[in-house]
Structure 1
């Protein structure tokens, strides 16, 4: 929502002195009320997550911090040496899952609050009861940020504060429309508080006064976390390739949303980086972007398939079922037909060596197709590789007007997945490995 500014914007911020060492079971609202009885309606309280974790007993014994990080990690985003950027159980992407081994007894670590928004709400309710004040509460933690050096505090929990200021639909001072500006006000408040709390000053709570217009019910810090579909930077460094590979699925149902042709071309650019024999480029991709082209090809392939099945003695009922199973291509809003060409192949005049030469080109083409599928997953597009064009290459060449030396190597259905993919059953590597 849009947060209206005060008539004369200004505020003050200070750290609260006198907060004692927090222990499990302590009432944080009581500790703050005792240390800051002067709190007023409209004040915003900034509370370091570490004391929230201590009060809530989020202290666990661990043989090592790494062990605790493993337990709190949902997804590894990036890794460099011992440093890990991960998504933790709260959905936050941060270093070490927020596990802290400082200011706690040896052999123990601090985990982040289990539900920081609920923690903020509890502190707010406690202060309302103890001091009869309506304040906002933000639970803060320290984050690094992509592209920026250094750390800053951000909001991981909030209650009674508008965490976002949505300026979209408004105009700037020159009358230009604002179409994408949403300000993370809760993070800005958290950073302001950190300027007076400090990282090592023993002052875990700060107060902001003068910004009462930012108070309001209904917002939570969970709204600050981008969803996976909106996160353009979800993947990390070396993990990006692994994530794209593991996220690739065979998608058989698509929405009607059009496919961006530029995204497919970027995937082709990735495909043609695959290894190939003799410095050749054996990949060709025919992109069927019009519905008419897709329908003409698929109708011709269907007719050829039916003819083959009848020749094999299949019943009409059996043929109908088989054709229906091939509808994944027909239901896709975009098709690509990868082809192999053997320009540059060596001819040995020896059956075994010539067969091996062809196999090298087939493997190289397969590597290109795999690159293509993984790159499509990176573009958030679903795909399904279907081998059917390999069974009627003459038909495909004729319909698409391809040269005789282009060998269709299946077809790839492309589109936006109609549903979230099912969880992949993990496959350990050992059954597929032989060590000598």
Structure 2
């Protein structure tokens, strides 16, 4: 006899009264005679968890409450903000809810949704003698997709992720990246019967006992992707601001190789900078081989030493100054940005010709700044060092560059070692003059 196809049942639980601060949710659910059995999964809307935990706060201004719950702004469009909140969740308005709560108040998410789920699970075990999984749910929008869905923000006794990596599919193909967000799928299923406006804050799933686990199972926090693994961590204009903030001068690099594609993407960003007369005054020389970097830096060092000796510097002073250039020698990748004056105008007037060149220099600097910020967005460290500007003929000769290319320093690129020191705060007002 053939076995039946897998199936489960989900239904909303009626009889839950209006929840108030201090209520014991497990007792309220047990009093509704849910008919729970071992292996069931209980889906509890976060709103009633927050109410029971007294997460209602006075807030005449919801925006101020959102500010207080926000750790990081990811994206903003008009009044809408997508933020990372104190629970580590990235969502609209930090999860601050002004609906179904008295005027002048707002409802915050549970402070620790996993702990809230554990409390309900333990309470139901004590009250009804059943071993069930508990998922605390909330409603999320999603990037790239219209519409809302419920997801798990807290869990207890549930395998929130089903890691299928290392197995095979029905055709024997290896599964290398398949990790199923089981708790989110349960939350979405429950929302189909709870609804958004039906006053049914709890649902039960039966028939999926294999997802119910021990108390040692990690909670829904496991579903939150770490910053290091999040390819879409940055939002829109906030991405630019954060990349600018991330752009720091790095003096020490690891041996980890640099992705040449990342550097080329940074160059593509660099050449979007503004320039005079619709020109393109930037060129970027990429030194991807160790041989090319060593050859250039050795020639530059010799030229620098000669200059310092002509200046009367002692050998000790010269050695100390040369060591300062080690940031370039220790980097796994070097870029030499160059200025070209193609398309510039010649006026035959020294004042105007000088201004013309300055316009091109400013545009080239804007391109280099774009480049550095884009590298930061690629999670690459950099240091823009001016040394090639002091020996341009040497650089042009070693790199076989046209005589019209003027090197504008060199950019060391690589993966930073350690954490950069905090940058001193610079208040914008100190740099403003208003007329």
How many Å apart are 1:125 and its aligned residue?
Answer: 1.6
Kindly report which structure 2 residues correspond to 1:322-333, keeping only aligned pairs within 5 A, or say none: 322-333=321-332
Correspondence for 2:55 among 58, 72, 76: 58
Unaligned stretches of 5+ residues in structure 1: 1-5
Counterpart-to-counterpart distance in 1, 2:423 and 2:70: 18
CA positional deviation for 1:367: 0.5
Structure 2 residue 346 is the aligned partner of structure 1 residue 334: no
Q: Are residue 145 (structure 1) and residue 142 (structure 2) matched?
A: yes
Find the counterpart in structure 1 of residue 85 from structure 2. 88
Show the counterpart of 1:346: 345
Q: Does 1:72 align with 2:69?
A: yes
Give the SS at the match of 2:84. strand
Q: What residue is the counterpart of 1:114 in the other structure?
A: 111
- The match for 2:394 is 395
Q: Larger deviation: 99-108 or 243-252?
A: 243-252
> What corresponds to 1:242 in structure 2?
241
Q: Once the 2 structures are TM-superposed, how far is the Cα of residue 422 of structure 1 from its aligned partner?
A: 4.0
Structure 2 distance, partners of 1:7, 1:333, is: 60
Write the mapping of 1:117-136 to structure 2, written as runs, cut at 5 A.
117-136=114-133
CA distance in 1, matches of 2:89, 2:419: 21
Question: Please, what TM-score do these two structures have when normalized by structure 1?
Answer: 0.95
- Corresponding residue of 1:100: 97
Cα distance in 1, alignment partners of residues 396 and 63 from structure 2: 56
Q: Name the structure 1 match of 2:165.
A: 168
Q: Structure 1 residue aligned with 2:153, among 144, 156, 159? A: 156
1:303 match: 302
The 3 A distance-change label for structure 1 pair 422 and 29 is: farther
CA distance in 1, matches of 2:224, 2:315: 54
Task: Tell me the residue number matched to 1:208.
Answer: 205
Q: Distance in 1 between matches of 2:409 and 2:155?
A: 52
| CA RMSD after TM alignment | 1.6
Deviation at 1:392, TM superposition (A): 1.4
Give the match's secondary structure for 1:152: strand
Alpha-carbon distance between aligned partners in 2 of 1:98 and 1:196, rounded to the nearest angstrom:
22
- What is the number of residues matched between the two proteins? 431
Q: Which residue of 2 aligns with 1:361?
A: 360
Cα deviation, 1:232-263, whole Å, max 9, x if unaligned, reads: 11122232222222222222222222111111
What's 1:268 paired with?
A: 267
1:104-150: per-residue Cα shift (whole Å, max 9, x none)? 11111011111111111121122222222221111110000011110
Return the alpha-carbon distance in structure 2 between the equivalents of residues 229 and 354 of structure 1: 49
- 1:316: how far off? 3.0
Cα 1:116–1:426 shift into 2, 3 Å:
farther
Q: Which residue of 2 aligns with 1:16?
A: 13
Residue 292 (structure 2) aligns with: 293
CA deviation after TM superposition for structure 1 residue 279, in Å: 1.5
Structure 2 CA distance for partners of 1:7 and 1:426, relative to 1, 3 Å: farther
SS at match of 1:413: strand
Would you say the 8 A contact 2:13–2:34 is kept in 1? no
Contact map agreement 1:37 1:131 (CA 8 A) in 2: no
1:418 aligned residue? 417
CA–CA distance in structure 2, aligned partners of residues 349 and 234 of structure 1: 52
- Following the alignment from structure 1 to structure 2, what is the Cα–Cα distance between the partners of residues 389 and 159? 60
* Residues 47 and 139, structure 1, Cα contact 8 Å, conserved in 2: yes
Mapped to 1, the partners of 2:399 and 2:370 lie a distance apart of: 24
- Separation in 2, partners of 1:36, 1:424: 59
CA contact (8 A) 2:296 2:398 kept: yes
Pair 1:233–1:418, CA change in 2 (3 A): same
Gaps of 5+ in 2: none
TM-score (normalised: structure 2): 0.95
Offset at 1:425?
A: 4.3
Partner of 2:375: 376
Cα 1:340/1:7, change in 2 over 3 Å: farther
State the 1:308 CA deviation.
2.3
Larger mean CA deviation between 25-34 and 107-116 belongs to 25-34
CA distance in 2, matches of 1:112, 1:16: 22
Distance 1:410 1:178 in 2: 48
Instruction: Check 1:313–1:244 CA distance in 2 against 1; reply closer, same or farther (3 A cut).
Output: same
The residue aligned with 2:407 is: 408
C-alpha distance in structure 2 between counterparts of 1:134 and 1:372, whole Å:
57
Cα 1:179–1:287, aligned 2, differ >3 Å: closer, same or farther?
A: same
Once the two structures are overlaid, the 10-residue window that deviates more, 286-295 or 383-392, is 383-392
How far, CA to CA, are the matches of 1:147 and 1:55 in structure 2?
34
Report what 1:254 is aligned to. Answer: 253
Deviates more, 1:387-396 or 1:149-158: 387-396
**Residues 281-310 of structure 1: per-residue CA shift (max 9 Å, x gap):** 110000000011111111222222222223
